[in-house]
Structure 1
Amino acid sequence: MTMAMAMMAALFVACGDDGTDDETPPPAVPTIALDGGDIDQPQEITNPMSVKIGVTAPGAIAGFTVTIDSPALTAEMLATVGLATELNLVNPGSMAEALGALGFPSGEAVSGKTALTFDISKLVPMIAQIYNETSDHKFILKVTDAKGKSTTKTLTCHLTGKVALAYNNDADLWANTATVTAANVPDGGSVQYRVKGAADWTDAVLVEGSKYRLAPVYETSKNAAGLDVHTIKAGTGVFAATTYEVRIAKDGQAVDSKEFATAVGDKIPNGDMSGWSKKQMTTDGKTFWPITYPNAEGNSVWDSGNNMFLEQYNDDGTPTIFTPLCRQDETEPGTARLQARMVLDFVFAPGNMFTGDFNYSGFSGTVNFGKPYAWTARPRALKVRYKAQIGKIDKVGSYDPDGASYQDKQDCARIFVAVVNWKAQHGVTSGMTEPAGMWDPAVKTSLDEGAILGYGDLVITQTATGWVEATLPFNWYAKDAANPASAPFSLVISCATSMRGDYLTGCSTNTMQVDDFEWVY
Structure 2
Amino acid sequence: MRNKLTIITLSLSALAFGACANYGETPAAKGVFSLDVRMGEPVSRAVMSQEELLSSAKVSIYKGDFSGKVREYEYSQMPQAIYLPADDYRVDVIAGEAVKENPAAASWEQKSYKGSSDVTVKAGTSSSVTVTAKVSNVISKVAFDQTVADAFQSGYTCEVSLADTDGRLVYDASNSGSDGFFIPSGFEPSLYWNFSGTLKKDGSTFTKSGEIKSVEEGKRYRLNLKYTEKDGLLAFDLLVDDSTNNIYDDIIFEGTSTGIAQSSRYEIWAGHFTAHADVDEAQYDKDKVRFEVREKGTQDWTPVTAVRDSEGTFSAEIKGLAPSTVYEYRLVLTSLESGEEEILAAPSDVTTENAVPVPNGGFETTSNDESGKYKSFYDPSSSDPTLQKQWWGNGNKGATLVGSGSVICYPDASDYKEGTQSVCLQSRWVVVKFAAGNLFSGHFGDLIGTTGGTVYFGRPFTARPTALRLWVKYSGGVINRESGNVPSDGKKGNYDKASIRIALGTWDYKRYGGDADSPVMINTTDVSTFVDFSTDKSTIAFGERLITSDDSNPAKDWIQMTIPLEYSSLTTYPTHIIISCAASMYGDYFTGYDNSKLWLDGMELLYE
- Taking structure 1 as the reference length, the TM-score comes to 0.50
State the structure with more CA Rg: 1
Larger relative contact order (CA 8 Å, sep ≥ 6): 1
- Taking structure 2 as the reference length, the TM-score comes to 0.43
